[in-house]
A and B are shown apart, each in its own frame.
Chain A
Amino acid sequence: MDGTHDLGGKQGFGPIQVQHEYLAFEHYWEGRMWALAQTTRNPHLTIDWFRHLVECLEPQAYLTMPYFEKWAMAHLAGLTMSEVFTTAQIIEGTCNKTNERPPDATLEDVLVSARNKSRTFQLKSTIAPAFKTGDIVHTLSHGKRGHTRLPGYMRARQGKILSHHGAHSFADEGAKGLEMAQHLYTVVFSARELWGNEASKIDTVSAELWESYLVSA
């Protein structure tokens, strides 16, 4: 979707609020949200559907809401659409249930679970890739409804296939709860192709793009 989330290249933002040191959570509620996201299971919540739920926030809310609050709103909207909670229960802050809780996990348990979260999104495909490393490609010139991962600033541009990653779970379908394999490539663009002569002649910007975002040059 042509949403506010598609920020690459937008102008008017001020300087970066630089931080050098590591601080996992600035606020208590940030840590709680992170932990909830790691543990609260919603069977329909693929990574892509979660991202799309964040994108569906109203533009002004998207730009002003703290990061982890956006996560909360995405989870709550997703749980509503999966009919786990109603909006009335969410606004009230209780579902009036006292279901049995799963056992408490210790730090050691959690460190094992955290390690087990590693997964590849690569999938087997019987379809041959349309492009190979070094091929010149063009990107699609238009956006589409729903979730998609071709950034606006990379549309209708010419790039080069830097590498092929095999087939990966296609985000556009993942956001509809489906798993579909599609070839994925890292495509490199010269900065001048994207931004004109204001950019350095030697700089590049690359992104991972699925095959259906690309056409032969």
Chain B
Amino acid sequence: MANFDSDEAAKIHRHLHAHMPSDPALRIKALESLAVEHGMVSPKTLDAWVEAYSEHIGPKRGALVVAKAWLEPEFKTHLLKDAASAIAVIGYEGHATGDLKAVENSENSHNLVVCTLCSCYPFGLLGISPPWYRSAAYRARVVREPRKVLTEFGVNVPASVAVHVWDSTAELRYLVIPQRPAGTDNWSQEALAAIVTRNSMIGTDRDLSLETV
């Protein structure tokens, strides 16, 4: 039975880190071999999970949700009120989206998401998190100097526009709804979704280009 003891966990970490091969590929291979030998999972099932998140579950889902919110006021109201149940309407519920909050950018405000304590992310809606999102630099800096971090993404937020940073410390996950760009009247949901960037749904992109991403 696990005893959930911090000191014991740290001791096991030191032992394994000192004695396992240092290459992460080999460490993960060891975990896979043990899991398969123990009868926890089959390698083919693992292949299917990799394929699901490489080809099917990813930021295109979030982009379609944003485009739908731009086009359908009722859906947008639902999304802003209870994002978890709104995305379930289109079958996009999944890993780490059971408690979900949509926050909307405006002319006067910009929203930006981080998890400073680990790297929490709405995987089921945006896919696997980008490496920069999990980096120590982003986690450390974005709560303290968000405007400077944004310039590194090519985003200059005017001093008159408020920046709201959301540090997802519990199980609530965030989806940023970027502003719909001008010149997109009469565009279809698919055409609109194609200009919604992954970074704009985290908040590290602001003014969307009309060029398809």
Chain A residues with CB under 8 Å of chain B are 1, 5-11, 13-22, 24-36, 38-41, 44, 47, 49, 51-54, 56-58, 61, 63, 65-69, 72-73, 75-85, 87, 89-91, 93-107, 109-111, 114-115, 117-122, 145-146, 149-151, 153-154, 165, 168-169, 171, 175-177, 184, 186, 191, 194-195, 199-200, 202-210
Contact = CB atoms under 8 A, between A and B. Distances in A.
Given A8-B167, A16-B149, A120-B99, A80 B12 contact: yes
A69 B165 CA distance: 28
11 contacts: A29-B25, A34-B128, A39-B46, A56-B10, A87-B15, A96-B37, A114-B95, A202-B163, A203-B165, A205-B165, A208-B170
Contacts of A58: 10, 13-14, 17
Given A8-B167, A32-B50, A68-B24, A89 B143 contact: no
Given A8-B144, A16-B149, A35 B164 contact: no
A145 B9 CA distance: 13
B34 A93 contact: yes
B28 A72 contact: yes
B187 interface: no
Contact of B12 (A77, A99, A195): A77
Contact of B49 (A13, A39, A52): A39
Contact of A19 (B30, B132, B137, B160): B132
Given A49-B4, A51-B117, A177-B2, 13 more contacts: A5-B118, A9-B144, A31-B50, A34-B53, A57-B10, A90-B34, A97-B39, A101-B39, A104-B45, A151-B167, A165-B172, A177-B4, A206-B165
B171 interface: yes
Interface in B172-190: 172
A114 B57 contact: yes
A22 B44 contact: no
Nearest to B57: A114
B167 A207 contact: yes
A17 B197 CA distance: 17
Interface size band for B: 35 or more
A100 B138 CA distance: 43
B41 A14 contact: no
A90 B16 CA distance: 8
A52 B6 contact: yes
Contacts of B191: none
Given A8-B139, A44-B2, A118-B124, A93 B33 contact: yes
B42 interface: yes
A75 to B, nearest CB: 6
A83 B13 contact: no
B52 A107 contact: yes
Given A13-B137, A20-B197, A205-B165, A95 B48 contact: no
Given A32-B46, A38-B49, A205-B165, A90 B134 contact: no
A150 B132 CA distance: 23
Contacts of B205: 20
Contacts of A25: 50, 53-54, 128
Interface in B62-114: 84, 88, 91, 93-99, 101, 114
B139 A120 contact: no
Interface string B127-159: 110111011111111011011010011100001
B206 interface: no
B147 to A, nearest CB: 7
Contacts of B39: 97, 99-102
A8 B143 CA distance: 6
A18 B20 contact: no
Nearest to B138: A16
B2 A8 contact: no
A87 to B, nearest CB: 5
Most A CB within 10 A of own CB, among B8, B31, B42, B165: B31
A149 B54 contact: no
